[in-house]
Amino acid sequence: MENTFDVIVIGSGPGGYVAAIRAAQLGYKTAIVEKYTVLGGTCTNVGCIPSKALLDSSEHFHEAATKFKTHGIEIDNLKINFNQLMKRKDEVVKQNTSGLSFLMKKNKIQVFEGTASFLSNTEIKISSSGKEERVKSKYFVIATGSKPSSIKGVDIDKQRIISSTEALALKEKPESIAIIGGGVIGVEMASIFSRIGVKVTIVEYADSLIPTMDKELGKELKKVLTKNGIEILLNHKVQSAENLGNSTLITYKDEKDTLKEIRADYCLVAVGRKPYTEGLGLENTRVKLDERGFIQTNAQLQTAEENIYAIGDVVPGPMLAHKAEEEGAFVAEVIAGQKPQIHYNLIPGVVYTWPEVASVGLTEEQLKKEGRAYRVGKFPFIASGRARAAMESDGFAKVISEPKYGEILGVHIIGPRAADLIAQAVIGTHYETTDEDMFRIPYAHPTYSEALKEAYLIASGQGAINL
């Protein structure tokens, strides 16, 4: 086995495997280093994929329990098989990791299993099971991702005080879970467990769920999750979490600064993630970290070492799998001398609760802060024929446009299939279309997408047709 390559990618998550595949496609002799026995990183193994598998399974159960009878479907003795729920999730993960292994072979990418550490800007050491191997490369791409973070007074012990990683691999259905954090991970985990009969409490420091997104989305999501039995405590500050052996005790201060307690079987910490750079040997290179631990790069995602690049969760920006994928392909093309572009303002944010939440572009809060004029078009799904037929009355489509020319500034959706609908808005925003352009194109009827058509129409100042 030759130990010299053109490109070595460290980390095999969405950013890493895309970077490796694109580099190989461009004719580079490529290798990828992964410390675990399977490829795919956090997203494939303990994040995006398993959580979506459980979200779908739990939603099917919830639908059967709450809507099937109305549809004329009657089921006796409906119950959850928690072991099968988890088994199916594991099978989905295996299918995806097997697919990645196939892609590595197909693209003739050498896979090294072990932990990579830089010896210099041209050589790394790969350690695995007490063995070490030295490998050289002309270029390196750091794609080591992130790991769960916590807050003062809360230590994740992976037993009772857990992160989403452990939550996605529980051996039995708990009776109760307290979730610290009402961001994307927190509300998705809350949805999974609440739907299958677990008592869920979310404790969020901010005054809104999913606080980085448009405030109206968080407000509507709170209404829906509360209706589904989830207790949501906003403006509450967690002080500590204690493992009591068979349960946990969480102490927090409410809006009035009064100290209170929650007892739950598990405490799930979902307060964000932090870049994973430990053990990379960056001290043996000129690669620098910023004050938050992210790797510093230029606009080309190039570090202080001209031949070392960094992508995904280890660089600043939203920690999204599809953002990492864009950066992976981008870096490979930069190395090849091409001039690709990434439009970070066009990277959509998605929350896979039900209804789903999706957003692209600027929020109302951002526009107000910048003092910019704008128009809003908002259309509720309860007025959509397709949504009513599917008993999907929650949520809305919201379009924000520039008043003079009608350029789309932001689109924010909470409703059925929002994660898919947002792609249309991304295209429209990319090509700088106007609200009128977007409502004048034909939409199939009846579809969920018609809610967007009506929102564009309202934003243009012409008023809805079907409301």
Q: What tens digit of pLDDT does each residue of 282-322 get?
A: 999 999 999 999 999 999 999 999 999 999 999 999 999 99
Angle CA 292–297–302, to nearest 5: 150
Q: What is 243-286 written as a DSSP string?
A: E-SSSEEEEEE-TT--EEEEEESEEEE-S-EEE--TTS-GGGSS
Token pair belonging to 53: 């598998």
Region 103-112 average pLDDT: 97
pLDDT tens readout for residues 404-442: 999 999 999 999 999 999 999 999 999 999 999 999 999
Query: For residue 372, what are the contacts with CB-CB under 8 A and spacing of at least 6?
Result: none
Mean pLDDT value across residues 341-365: 97
d(CA 354, CA 126): 43
Contact between 124 and 140 under an 8 Å Cβ cutoff? The reply is: yes
pLDDT at 361: 97
Among 255, 10, 267, 292, residue whose Cα is nearest residue 124 = 10
Residue 2 has pLDDT above 80, yes or no: no
Residue showing tokens 């689109």: 411
> What is residue 466's predicted lDDT score, i.e. its pLDDT?
59
Contact status, residue 27 vs residue 333, Cβ threshold 8 Å: no
Whole-number pLDDT of residue 462? 83
Give the per-residue pLDDT at 3: 87
CATH superfamily for 161-271 is FAD/NAD(P)-binding domain (3.50.50.60)
Domain with CATH 3.50.50.60 in the chain: 4-147+274-344, 161-271
Q: Strands 176-180 and 266-269: what pairing?
A: parallel
CATH number of 355-459: 3.30.390.30
User: Which are the contacts of 309, defined by CB distance < 8 A and separation ≥ 6?
Assistant: 139, 140, 141, 142, 297, 300, 301, 302, 303, 331, 334, 335
Domain with CATH 3.30.390.30 in the chain: 355-459
pLDDT(464) > 70: no
126 bridge partner residues:
116, 133
Query: Does residue 236 have an active-site annotation?
Result: no
- Active-site choice (60, 71, 430, 445): 445
As a whole number of Å, the CA-based R_g of the chain is: 24
Residues 4-147+274-344, CATH architecture = 3-Layer(bba) Sandwich (3.50)
330 to 28, 294, 302, 382, 397: CA distances (angstroms): 15, 19, 11, 41, 31
**Would you say residue 1 has pLDDT above 50?**
no
> Cα angle at 353 between 205 and 190, to 5 degrees?
50
Q: Is the link from the previous residue into 355 a cis peptide, with omega within 30 of 0? A: yes
Instruction: For the chain, give the mean pLDDT.
Output: 96
* pLDDT value, residue 130: 87
C-alpha to C-alpha distance for 97 and 99, rounded to whole angstroms? 5
Under the banding of pLDDT at 50, 70 and 90, the label for residue 459 is very high
Q: Cα–Cα distance between 353 and 88 in angstroms, integer?
A: 19
Show Cβ contacts of residue 172 under 8 Å, excluding neighbours closer than 6 positions: 82
